[in-house]
Structures are given as structure tokens and as C-alpha cells.
Chain A
Amino acid sequence: MAPRFDLSAATWRARAIRYVAIYLVLALMLVGARLLTQDVRPTLRTAQDREVALTTQRDELELRVQALGNPQRVRDWAFQNGMRRFAEAPKTTQDLTGVPAPAPAAAHTTLEVTTEWK
């Protein structure tokens, strides 16, 4: 037995209206969503730009720190400000005073041996 289809004009009209309505609602939702999130992309773009700028800035600052930490510069600066090398500085020695030296610990002179027989 063959199935019976409802192919009347009224049914088609109802379907058409339903589908157009669904389409309109979906389209509206899409536009709405786009409207609500319209700032995302520009924000992303500016964030990306800022990231690039900050990366550049970080690299440049890193470079400056590395260049400023140059041992030649630091050394020259230190000598200009009166640094003297430890090896060449005159050194004096002095006995420690004020704090009496602790008495040397008594040496262990006795030796105890325990023998256990099994």
C-alpha cells in the first residue's frame, strides 16, 4: 500500500510561512548576536597591536638593560668612582679582641672497647 502525501496548496502555504518565519528569526538572532559582539573584533585588533607594541618595547628595554649591564661600562664607572681592586688594596691583619677565645675542647684520651662473645 502506497503512502499518502498531503500535497494540498494550503499545507504548502503553511509550511512556507513557517519556514520563512524560522529563517527570519534565525537571521534576526544572527544579526543580534553580531550586534551584541560587534566590539569584539576591533578590541581584538587593538589588543594585537598593543601586544606587538609591548613586545617591541620589552625587547628594546631588554636590550637597554643588557647594554647598560655591559661589564666594561660597569667597570669604568666603578673605577671613576674610586673602586680599588681587592688584590691591590693594602691589607692588614689584627688579632681579634673583645671576645675571649673559647677554651679548646678536652681531648678524648680514654678509649672504651666492648667485646661481645657469641
Chain B
Amino acid sequence: MEVKIHHRSRLMQVIALILFLTLVWAYAQLEWNVPQGVKRTVMQARGTITAADGTVLARSVNGKRVYPQGKLAGQVVGLMGATEGLEGLEAAYNRALEGGKNLKLTLDPGVQAAAEAALAQAVPKHQGEYGSVVVLETRTGRVLAAASYPPFDPNAWRDYSPEARRNRPFLDVFEPGSTIKGLVVAAALNEGLTTPDTVYNTPMRRYVGGRWGSTIGDAVQHPGSLTTRQVLQFSSNVGMSHIVEHFPADRMRGYLNHYGFGNYVDLPTVITSTGRLQPLRNWDELVRATNAFGQGMSGTNLQLAAAYNSLANDGLYVSPRLVEGEPAGERREVLRPETARTTRAMLQAVIDKQIPHQAGIKGYALAGKTGTAQVASAHGYSSNLFDSVFAGFFPADAPRVTITVMVHGAKIDYHGSMLAAPIYRDVASEIISRWAAAPSEQEQPEEKK
């Protein structure tokens, strides 16, 4: 009798052990990976992401999420975790994609590739840390390219650092530096505070701002008096301080705000940064002067592009768009059309007169403005860390495309005209070549020689 009970208890022990182990095994399955079947169906039903011309940027194949274009627009598209999007559009539109909806973007793969290639060539050469390019279609505000450097391949996202995944043109905030001059001069023209030929007394240095003021100085050597046109050409901070001298603070801040600085970008669902404008109560003479050359304020490359796009678009600000079929964002008139036209001619002269080789293409009317901004840190402006910036559009008389470039932390030839301008030129050249646009007539006799 006793032996029998002994056997039985052994048997029960073994059964209990087996049951327990099954439980452990099942739990481990859940813990290490989601049951394969669930993951597979979730992935398989997920919508695709395509560019404007139908090029597939993300799709599901055999229960796996793949990105056939690899690094092309990697940061914009983002990446997938086990069952849901973690970054970029995969995260922003996770709900819609999960529901099997397809996303069609406004990106033009050719332009995007050109922008990424231009960054990949220039940034390492100048030992820069990172950079970004935005290309907008002028009339509609459609984003044709949003490129970031260093590149990122979502197929192998685990191999990249979180910095590489950053969609820089939408997220990185920086001080736009001298590129803002084009916008501020346009605002001053619009207010009737200046004309292209108004002459200003411009020493190389000037004290601004009364008791708590500071001395501002110019980097480029220039004559002792400059017209507004020349203030842009020589990128004179002193000249800008004169131009905005009688600009009421609320009006000038209002213009910057209308250009989109310090505002949310009206771009549905996609995550963007805002940057900042100083609150109006802080606006004294010095703040007004520094804002006139792009210090003490900040924005993203996307905001800078949208702001310059309003110059290109006859003074009408259109919100950028990235996903087709989303409601068009806000539109507002910032400048009168004739003001925008005058400013465009002045910005064309900046390239033609000062940097024809760095930013210009023979036979084509390109317009734009460089910027070299010292990077602000907790201890004031750094003396060896720069943002090289360029903002421009073309054709200057009737723009179709706006391009902005930003490269951070370059060590060699970090000036906007040496680094950002050639990137702009490169992308512009590629776009014009794709249009196969005929060069302007005036240039042709020269070519004949």
C-alpha cells in the first residue's frame, strides 16, 4: 500500500513539473518575441509609403517591413519596431498605416537624391557634424526634398545612432543668421521704411542699444556707405541695424511671425519643432538689431524654407505639405507682390555680384542669401562652432522652387558662401537640368566666344 502511494506522488510530481515548464516556455515565448502569427498579419496588412512619382519608400513583404530605397529619405520615412512605427512617418501615421491606408508623399525622389548627395559630398569635406536641405515647390508649398546628413537606412536601424535617425530639417532648431536679412529687408520695404537705393552710413563697427547695448560689427570689408541693395550684398550687420532703426518692435516681430518664425508649422500629423522669437516685452533696440541679422531668434530649416518661399511666391506664405491628400495648411499674405519682386531682384544681385561661382549657374537667374551663424550656447556665442546657412530660390523672376541649406559645425571653410552656397548650387543645377530649362538669352553671346 505504501509503495503504491509513493509511486503515485512521484508521478504527480513529474506531471506538475512538466506543466510548470510548459508555463515557463509559453511565458518566454511572449517575453522574447511576439507570437509570429500576430506580428506577421499586423505587418502584412500595413500600408505602403510612396513618393510623389510612385517610388516605393516603405512596404510589407512576407510579413516584414522593408524600405526598398534604403537610405533615400530614411529619416523622413522613419522606422518600425516589432509591430508599430517608432520614428518618422511610420510613427506619425502609425494608425492610418495599420489600418491598411497607403501614404503618398510629395517628395520627388530625384530631387531628394540630389540633395542627399550634395550634403554627403560637402559635409565630410568641410568636416561638418550634420546638415540638412529642404526643397519646396513655390506655388504649393509641397516638400520636394527633406534631406538629412548623416544618412540613415531604416532597413538596418539598429546599426545607427539615434542622431542619425533625426529628421533634421524638421526638428533641428538653429539661428538663421544673415539669411534673415533678405526677409527683414523685404519687411522694411513693405512698410515703406527703406528703398533699394536708400544710402546708409556704414562703418565696420557700431554701438547699438543705449545703456545695455553692445557693439555690432561686420565680417566682410565694405565701403563706408552702402545702399540697401549693397547692405544685402556685403551682408552688413551695421547696415541692417540702420534699416530697422525706425521699425516698430511689434511690427517687425509681427512680420517674422508671419514668415512663420516662432509659430507651429501647419503640417498635419508630422512632428516638427518651432524655434523661438523673443517675447515682445524683451524687444529693445539691441534685440531689434540682432534679430535683423538673425541672432537671438531661431527656427528649423523647414521654417526658413517656408519663409523664403513667401518671397518667391509673391509675398504669399503657404504652409509646407508633405503628405498628399492632407488638407492644405494656412495661407496668408505677408508682403505685397511688388515688394516680393523687388526683394527677389536684390537677392539675385547678391548671387550675381558677390558669389556667382559659389551659388550661381551661368545662364540662369538664381537668387539667395548666405548666412554664417555662430552657435549660441549657455556661455554665449561660440567662437569656433558655426552654422553655415543658405536660402534661395529660382528662377529669380518667376520662382518655381525654394531651397534652404544648413550645415552645422564645419571646421574648414565654414562660411555660408563656401559651404552652404555650393550645396544650393548643386541641388539647383540638378533641378534645372531635369527641367532642361533653356539658359537666358543675354548670356548666350558670351558663350559663343
Contacts and interface: CB of A to CB of B under 8 A. Distances in A.
Contacts of A67: 68-70
B358 to A, nearest CB: 14
A59 B436 contact: no
A59 B429 contact: no
B433 interface: yes
Contact of B116 (A72, A92, A93): A72
Given A66-B55, A75-B113, A90-B447, A85 B68 contact: no
Contacts of B113: 70-72, 75
Nearest to A79: B117
B361 A88 contact: yes
Contacts of B116: 72
B361 A87 contact: yes
B433 to A, nearest CB: 4
Interface residues of B, number: 32
Interface in A43-94: 56, 59-60, 62-63, 66-67, 69-72, 75-76, 85-88, 90-93
B61 A59 contact: yes
B61 A86 contact: no
B430 interface: yes
Interface string B80-113: 0000000000000000000000000000011011
A55 to B, nearest CB: 9
Contacts of A87: 361, 363-364, 428-430, 432-433, 437
A60 B61 contact: yes
B52 interface: no
29 contacts: A56-B62, A59-B61, A59-B62, A62-B61, A63-B61, A66-B55, A66-B56, A67-B70, A69-B55, A70-B68, A70-B69, A70-B70, A71-B55, A71-B109, A72-B71, A72-B72, A75-B114, A76-B117, A85-B429, A85-B430, A86-B432, A87-B361, A87-B364, A87-B428, A87-B430, A87-B437, A91-B444, A91-B447, A93-B448
Given A71-B69, A87-B428, 12 more contacts: A59-B61, A66-B55, A66-B56, A70-B69, A71-B113, A72-B69, A72-B70, A72-B117, A85-B429, A85-B430, A88-B429, A92-B448
Interface of A: 56, 59-60, 62-63, 66-67, 69-72, 75-76, 85-88, 90-93
